[in-house]
Amino acid sequence: MAHVGRALAAAASPRSPALASMRSLLAPPATAAARPAASASAATAAARSQARAASTITCREALNSAIDEEMEREDKVFVIGEEVAEYNGAYKVTKGLLAKYGGRRVVDTPITEAGFTGLATGSAFAGLRPICEFMTFNFSMQAIDHIVNSAAKTLYMSGGKIKVPIVFRGPNGAAAGVGAQHSQDFSAWYGSVPGLKVISPYDAEDCRGLLKAAVRDDNPVVFLENELMYNQQFEVSDQVMDKDFTLPIGKAKVMLEGSDVTIVTHSKQVGVALQAAAELEEKHEVFAEVINLRSIRPLDTATVCESVKKTSRLVTAEEGWPAFGVGAELCASIFETDAFNYLDAPVQRVTGADVPTPYAENLEKDAFPVQADIVSACLRAVDATLA
Amino acid sequence: MSYPKKVELPLTNYNQINLNKKKLLVLYEDMLLGRNFEDMCAQMYYKGKMFGFVHLYNGQEAVSTGVIKLLDSTDYVCSTYRDHVHALSKGVPSQNVMAELFGKETGCSKGRGGSMHIFSAPHNFLGGFAFIAEGIPIATGAAFQSIYRQQVLKEPAELRVTACFFGDGTTNNGQFFECLNMAVLWKLPIIFVVENNQWAIGMAHHRSSSIPEIHKKAEAFGLPGVEVDGMDVLAVRQVAEKAVKRARQGQGPTLIEALTYRFRGHSLADPDELRSRQEKEAWVARDPIKKLKKYILDNKIADLNELNDIQSAVKIDLQKSVEFAMSSPEPNILELKRYLFADN
């Protein structure tokens, strides 16, 4: 096993393209034999990893191509938001779309969050399929009334008569050096709202498959991207690049199989968790299973519970605040099911610090989970069992 | 506390009114339906048949009728929490609105919406918004959709028009300004109808707005702003006609400020202590239904018997609506979580 661990560790630099190749390391027969029996979802993951890697793309390219293809497929799909058209997107996610589809379908708005978010939502009431971009999700606070009250509740309040097929998307979570108001994870906020679907992708495959699924969904979807992942490159198969490639909303993905502890996480922290798993294996002979939630709502508690029954230990990792967070919800989902009976150690939550994001570099660094935090949490879980 | 400023209502030139008898009686019937529906709601509310917040429209009927009865069935209407009568004017059957207020499965929103959230997809009635100004961007989005359908989807030859109703208090909210801006910027086929009933719950309009003449705010955004006697259905219809035509022809939005008054409190829970008796009486004397009735009789368009027959028919219709609502089933408790998501 050690050689696999070293290979994983070598590949594991947070901003290294080599991180993407980790998935292919799950496949070799030696690994499978040494590791516990593959679950169905892990087998699927392994099968997918064996597909020939056709290309390497960034998350930004994955999102851009997903929007482009969905606009090409369906004329009712349009993009609206600040700087999405002539500027090609504040983070260039909508690059080239204005040139291809024109200003009627790629709509630059005034800086008017409540106004354009409500406008997009109203156009969805009347049958269009808007993709509403927030320059960052922090700005969605000025429009949250329309996301929660107008978009999420209307199908229900109208007795099933008025559908609201809209995607709210943009960068979410901790950014770098931008202070408290521009650096925050909204997963838990939107994850608590009935009537919303909430997606938090990790890699290029997630970005493509889940964004395309979101645009095709007849319900309001909050799609939480991560600014620090936009430039990350990942290998993707031909299948992922297919125009009709979608991933199921509400289904988690086992990124790495393991027998000793389950790490459940989402977005950028999936990469951190994979590195932590490599370190645990190499230095501590602890085999962690890493689950990428992909969706915050619906939350795939079945996959988490199945994993916990296997490993008997749970560590959650997220950038969001601890109180009432994704980790807290995962804990409850374990406590309320028979998976609770399988726990051999207290659950460990790794979260963002319970403070507004600080500006100073050292404080900011300390405010969000790093590899060492996840490694320590896993070791605490394992040690608690041994004690 | 009396309203310190006398509200002068703009005059209407009746020479320009060219409505045949049938159309005039439609307006009369619609206003009567609105008034009697709301009176019935008050009765049912005090009997405990409906609950929560119920905001009645009495006194403002000329605005709903004057604007909405001009619209086509494919045009859109977006309302506020004071939405029953707008829905009725748009053609949502009174029995389904009544059943909604009773919280019954046969309600237009299957009992899931309630008084403040009347929706009807077949009538392009977009709700029912319980927060101040929340409906304005939604309505603006429906208008955006009309342009999109014409220009991108190449669907209907004629633009669908959206009428967006809200009150004087709302015009101090940012979403009002945000949407005036976008509607002019993109020449959207929308009519912003301010029902200036002078009071936002207990806040007198002149105490809350730096420029109380709301129609004047249009100038800053570059759209026509017109003031109209909101107690006169023919006057409202006259200005709305121009606004609809303008919107339909792709010339953009219009802001209509209809000066009106609600004859009841803000909601049925409002003790209504701040408005003076003198003020209320002055406005009740301008009752829009009596005004139209007088116009019809004075001009011998119809006789009293015909008008009384309309009144009787409305009362029978509402009695049936109440019976329908009473006898309708409540939602199935097992369907609590139904309608949360649409199946693709």
Identify all chain B residues contacting A112, using CB atoms and an 8 Å cutoff. Answer: 178, 181-182
Which of B113, B343, B111, B117 shows the shortest CA–CA distance to A197?
B343
Residues 185-224 of A with CB under 8 A from B: 194-195, 197, 216-219
Tell me, yes or no, if A146 comes closer than 8 A to chain B by beta carbon: yes
Tell me, yes or no, if A81 comes closer than 8 A to chain B by beta carbon: no
A222 and A80, same domain (yes or no): yes
Do residue A156 and residue B339 have CB atoms under 8 angstroms apart?
yes
Length in residues, chain A: 387
A75 and A179, same domain (yes or no): yes
A18 and A159, same domain (yes or no): no
Identify all chain B residues contacting A98, using CB atoms and an 8 Å cutoff. Answer: none
Name B117's Cβ contacts closer than 8 Å, sequence gap at least 6.
A157, A158, B83, B109, B127, B128, B129, B130
Q: Any bridge partners for residue B196, and if so which?
A: B259
A148 and A46, same domain (yes or no): no
Give the C-alpha distances (Å, rounded to integers) separating B126 from A131, B149, B163, B180, B224: 20, 18, 10, 19, 24
pLDDT for the residue numbered B17: 72
CATH number at residue A98: 3.40.50.970
A322 and A212, same domain (yes or no): no
pLDDT tens for chain A, 387 residues: list them. Answer: 333 333 333 333 444 445 444 444 444 333 333 343 334 444 444 444 444 557 999 999 999 999 999 999 999 999 999 999 999 999 999 999 999 999 999 999 999 999 999 999 999 999 999 999 999 999 999 999 999 999 999 999 999 999 999 999 999 999 888 999 999 999 999 999 999 999 999 999 999 999 999 999 999 999 999 999 999 999 999 999 999 999 999 999 999 999 999 999 999 999 999 999 999 999 999 999 999 999 999 999 999 999 999 999 999 999 999 999 999 999 999 999 999 999 999 999 999 999 999 999 999 999 999 999 999 999 999 998 655
A216 and A351, same domain (yes or no): no
* Domains of chain B by residue range: 34-327
Do residue A159 and residue B112 have CB atoms under 8 angstroms apart?
yes
Average pLDDT across each block of 10 residues of chain B; the chain has 344 residues. List them in order.
58 75 97 98 95 95 98 98 98 98 97 96 96 97 97 90 98 97 98 97 94 97 98 97 98 98 94 95 97 96 97 98 98 96 87
Nearest-Cα residue of chain A relative to residue B177 = A115
Do residue A123 and residue B134 have CB atoms under 8 angstroms apart?
no
Identify all chain A residues contacting B141, using CB atoms and an 8 Å cutoff. Answer: 118-126
A294 and A378, same domain (yes or no): yes
Nearest to B344 among A115, A162, A217 (CB): A217
Identify all chain A residues contacting B78, using CB atoms and an 8 Å cutoff. Answer: 122
Identify all chain B residues contacting A115, using CB atoms and an 8 Å cutoff. Answer: 137, 140, 175, 178-179, 181-182
Nearest to B152 among A104, A122, A218 (CB): A104
Cα-flanking dihedrals φ and ψ of residue A322, to 5°? -70, -40
Domain topology for B34-327: Rossmann fold (3.40.50)
Identify all chain B residues contacting A75, using CB atoms and an 8 Å cutoff. Answer: 152-153
Tell me, yes or no, if A115 comes closer than 8 A to chain B by beta carbon: yes
Q: Any bridge partners for residue A374, and if so which?
A: none
A64 and A98, same domain (yes or no): yes
A72 and A166, same domain (yes or no): yes
A126 and A237, same domain (yes or no): yes
Q: Are A36 and A261 in contact (CB under 8 A)?
A: no
Which of B101, B95, B104, B110 shows the shortest CA–CA distance to B44?
B101
DSSP state of B295: H
Identify all chain A residues contacting B329, using CB atoms and an 8 Å cutoff. Answer: none
Tell me, yes or no, if A297 comes closer than 8 A to chain B by beta carbon: no
CA distance A107 to chain B (A): 10
pLDDT for the residue numbered B8: 72
Tell me, yes or no, if A145 comes closer than 8 A to chain B by beta carbon: yes
A321 and A211, same domain (yes or no): no
Give me the number of domains chain A comprises: 2
Do residue B148 and residue A123 have CB atoms under 8 angstroms apart?
yes
CATH number at residue A338: 3.40.50.920
Q: Among A217, A241, A265, identify where a domain stops.
A: A241
pLDDT for the residue numbered B5: 55
pLDDT for the residue numbered B157: 76
pLDDT for the residue numbered B156: 72
pLDDT for the residue numbered A249: 98
Helices then strands, counting H and E runs in chain B, come out as: 12, 7
Instruction: Give one DSSP letter per residue of B42-96, joined into a string.
Output: HHHHHTTSS-S-----TT-HHHHHHHHTTS-TTSEEE--SS-HHHHHHTT--HHH
pLDDT for the residue numbered A386: 54
Distance CA B90, CA B120 (A): 10
Nearest to A157 among B109, B153, B338 (CB): B109
CA distance B123 to chain A (A): 11
Do residue A158 and residue B145 have CB atoms under 8 angstroms apart?
no
In the block, tokens 């199921």 appear at A248
Query: What domain range is A351 assigned to?
Result: 2-52+250-386
Active site includes A361? no
H-type alpha helices, chain A: 2-11, 22-25, 29-34, 40-50, 59-73, 97-101, 113-125, 144-145, 153-157, 187-191, 204-216, 238-241, 269-284, 301-311, 326-335, 361-367, 371-386
Cα-flanking dihedrals φ and ψ of residue B193, to 5°? -110, 105
Active site includes A113? yes
A26 and A117, same domain (yes or no): no
Q: Which of A82, A144, A161, A196 to mutate to test the interface with B (most CBs of B within 10 A)?
A: A161
Instruction: Give one DSSP letter per residue of A300-356, joined into a string.
Output: -HHHHHHHHHHHS-EEEE-SS-STT-HHHHHHHHHHTSGGGGG--S--EEE---SSP
ipTM, 2 dp? 0.92
